[in-house]
Amino acid sequence: MNFADRIIEEVLVKKSHVCVGLDPRWQRIPRSLRKNYGGSRPDTAEAARQVIEAFNEGLLEAVKDTAVAVKPQIAFYEIYGEKGIEAFWNTVKIAQNKGLLVIGDVKRNDIGSTAAAYSRAYLENSSPVRDNDRVLPDAITINPYFGSDGIEPFLQSCEKNDRGVFILVRTSNPSAAEVQDQKLVDGATVGEKIAGMVAEWGDSLKGENGYSPVGAVVGASCREEAAELRARMSSSYFLVPGYGAQGGGVEDVIPCFDYEGLGALVNSSRGIDYAYEKDEYSDDYRRAAKKAVQDMSEKINSALAEDPGLAWEEAE
Amino acid sequence: MNFADRIIEEVLVKKSHVCVGLDPRWQRIPRSLRKNYGGSRPDTAEAARQVIEAFNEGLLEAVKDTAVAVKPQIAFYEIYGEKGIEAFWNTVKIAQNKGLLVIGDVKRNDIGSTAAAYSRAYLENSSPVRDNDRVLPDAITINPYFGSDGIEPFLQSCEKNDRGVFILVRTSNPSAAEVQDQKLVDGATVGEKIAGMVAEWGDSLKGENGYSPVGAVVGASCREEAAELRARMSSSYFLVPGYGAQGGGVEDVIPCFDYEGLGALVNSSRGIDYAYEKDEYSDDYRRAAKKAVQDMSEKINSALAEDPGLAWEEAE
């Protein structure tokens, strides 16, 4: 089944549009989990692997019924070298065993022949080694700076293996505008230009619900911009970062959805992973995370129920 | 010492501007090295690690006196999961022990807080774990799509630890123009706009030779464009991919150099790593690689001797 159709199936079952980022930051992992492994920093990379996996296992169990997807951000694993990468891949497996879609937030890309190697590493079932039992993510994030020949290998993997990509279009960080909002001579911004390319790349791959596996990262930072991008990429699922810790609220994410209240997965990372730091359930990071996901999901669902189609009206 | 000054020191000693890409592609590694580890594909990821390290060790020993730097492209290591990453890090260590500068071709980036994690993973001496003896690359490649707050953490690491970055400006692949050559309303292309940002980011970090540790990736694909970018980024060292297998010749790379014949490292990957496939030394990939580096280096040096300052004249 097309990756977007798989998302929609889960969204309808779980009545949730939430994606939980898994960004293990050592010093914010509950003390009880790490106290025997080195306190302020891990004793060894192997200790880091064990603590990260235990932390993620708890989070995944807590959010598995109310989150649709999880998004491990690989930078926080790469810090620990090969042991961190082991934790990343084990996290992918644990998450999928709990029925969660997994978006590997790797933001890779390169020239075509190298992009093919990345695509093989993350999205290809054809095993690179004989004894491999690696469980792959359902999708990854990728960077568009190389143009179409850096994208093509990923599209092939998506089609062949029912996987997906989310291509960076408009990110949620303060300086995103420096590149992405630059005006081109044809009147579009760089981000809008890339949005048009994303729409074309996905055009021939649409599934039953009209969505292609070629999604877009569209940050929760500007309502008008989100509405414009939704209109330009009508068959792309959006992965919407920036909710919560980065300052985006529910009103910012609503224009990313379509008329039927589909089309966007809203991500929160720190706001869920470390909800325990300022929560009534401060003694149990899992209960705190579960409650944070429920709250977030309810807010999004209520706003969608009140305001269907808002994004489209504003864009027209 | 500033990273650019470190490059120049090596360039002057070795009389070479060559960077050798280390892209281990299993099926092209000499059969003799891999025949006991699985033939057409590795038996295990551990077998892949051993063969890749042995292959790289041979290449590094062969090119250590005539190449200035090496550039492992991490995609070809990530294919093998944590074992591949172990091979990547061991390759960094082996290369540095042989007196080569190491450019980790990782093309990472993300929003500021995540960019900081990547920077810590690749460029920070402050160890993430207590027992860490990881040897870090001297520089890495990074992607500019997030704007300055995705760059800032890397600049801090460069300054603190005498490391460098090469920021993607104009890549060497056929579709690079789709994004990078788009014209902005101010007349510059997207790549030229980013070139201006690169120049600014490096401006306060210039070393003894006038170069900052903030370099640029400028593909060997268009002479005029290279000359224009050299003028816009007068204090940035260029990493020039696309020589050889990707079709760039010596005449394409010359405009990347400055008046004094400095300012660019020219990279070849497949053309060196697999030179044995079509060489008189077909029985020894190390001798073939050594000869290929010598030939490439001599060509570049002769062209520079004949044509000093060409790039600047054309741009003016």
Contact B44/A183, CB-based, under 8 Å? no
CA distance B240 to chain A (A): 13
The predicted pLDDT at position A312 comes to: 46
Nearest chain B alpha carbon to A245: B113
Contact A147/B175, CB-based, under 8 Å? yes
Residues of chain B found within 8 Å of residue A136, distances taken between Cβ atoms? none
The predicted pLDDT at position B280 comes to: 74
Q: Do residues A194 and A214 touch, judged by C-beta distance below 8 A? A: no
Nearest by CB to residue A79, choosing from B120, B171, B174, is B120
Nearest chain A alpha carbon to B170: A146
Q: Do residues B5 and B216 touch, judged by C-beta distance below 8 A? A: no
Nearest by CB to residue A176, choosing from B147, B177, B241, is B147
Q: Which residues of A are catalytic?
A: 107
Per-residue pLDDT tens over the stretch B75-121: 999 999 999 999 999 999 999 999 999 999 999 999 999 999 999 99
Q: Which of B185, B268, B261 is nearest to B230 (CA)?
A: B261
Q: What tokens were used for B293?
A: 């580096």
Using DSSP, state whether B290 is helix, strand or coil.
helix
Architecture of the domain whose range is B3-315:
Alpha-Beta Barrel (3.20)
Percent of chain B with pLDDT strictly greater than 90: 85
Query: When comparing pLDDT for A107 and A221, which is higher?
Result: A107
Contact A117/B79, CB-based, under 8 Å? yes
Mutate to test the interface with A, among B78, B133, B136 (most CBs of A within 10 A): B78
Q: Is B171 on the interface with A (CB under 8 A)?
A: yes
Catalytic residue at B107?
yes
CA distance B109 to chain A (A): 7
Q: Which of A259, A98, A88, A145 is nearest to B191 (CA)?
A: A145
The predicted pLDDT at position B311 comes to: 46
- A residues 43-82 lying closer than 8 A (beta carbon) to B: 43-45, 47-48, 73, 75-76, 78-82
A with B: how many residue pairs have Cβ under 8 Å apart? Answer: 211
The single residue listed with the structure tokens 């007068």 is: B234
The predicted pLDDT at position B224 comes to: 84
Residue A202 has pLDDT above 70, yes or no: yes
The predicted pLDDT at position B179 comes to: 97
Nearest by CB to residue A130, choosing from B44, B89, B122, is B44
Nearest by CB to residue A176, choosing from B41, B114, B146, is B146
Using DSSP, state whether A231 is helix, strand or coil.
helix
Q: Is A36 on the interface with B (CB under 8 A)?
A: no
Q: Is the dihedral of CA A160, A164, A167, A169 positive or negative?
A: positive
Which sequence spans correspond to the domains of chain A?
Answer: 3-315
Q: Is A204 on the interface with B (CB under 8 A)?
A: no
The predicted pLDDT at position B309 comes to: 56
Query: When comparing pLDDT for A90 and A247, which is higher?
Result: A90
Q: Is B128 on the interface with A (CB under 8 A)?
A: yes
Is residue B316 very low, low, confident or very high in pLDDT (cuts 50, 70, 90)?
very low
The predicted pLDDT at position B308 comes to: 57
Nearest by CB to residue B107, choosing from A44, A75, A109, is A109
Q: Do residues A300 and A17 touch, judged by C-beta distance below 8 A? A: yes
DSSP 8-state secondary structure symbol assigned to residue B72: E
- The Cβ of residue B64 has, within 10 Å, a number of other Cβ atoms equal to 18
Beta strands in chain B (DSSP E): 18-22, 69-72, 101-108, 139-142, 164-170, 212-218, 236-240, 264-268
The predicted pLDDT at position A118 comes to: 97
CA distance B174 to chain A (A): 7
The packing angle between helices A148-161 and A112-123, to 10°, is 30
Contact A81/B83, CB-based, under 8 Å? no
The predicted pLDDT at position A309 comes to: 56
* For residues A21-25, average pLDDT: 98
Q: Is B188 on the interface with A (CB under 8 A)?
A: no
Nearest by CB to residue B129, choosing from A42, A112, A178, is A42
CA distance A21 to chain B (A): 12
Mutate to test the interface with B, among A26, A173, A189, A243 (most CBs of B within 10 A): A173
* For residues A14-25, average pLDDT: 98
Q: Which of A66, A11, A60, A2 is nearest to A297 (CA)?
A: A66
Nearest chain B alpha carbon to A189: B184
Contact A42/B118, CB-based, under 8 Å? no
Query: When comparing pLDDT for B131 and B64, which is higher?
Result: B64
The predicted pLDDT at position B312 comes to: 45
CA distance B307 to chain A (A): 30
CA distance A183 to chain B (A): 6
Give the range among A92-101, A158-167, B271-280 with minimum mean pLDDT: B271-280
Instruction: Name residue B191's amino acid.
Output: G
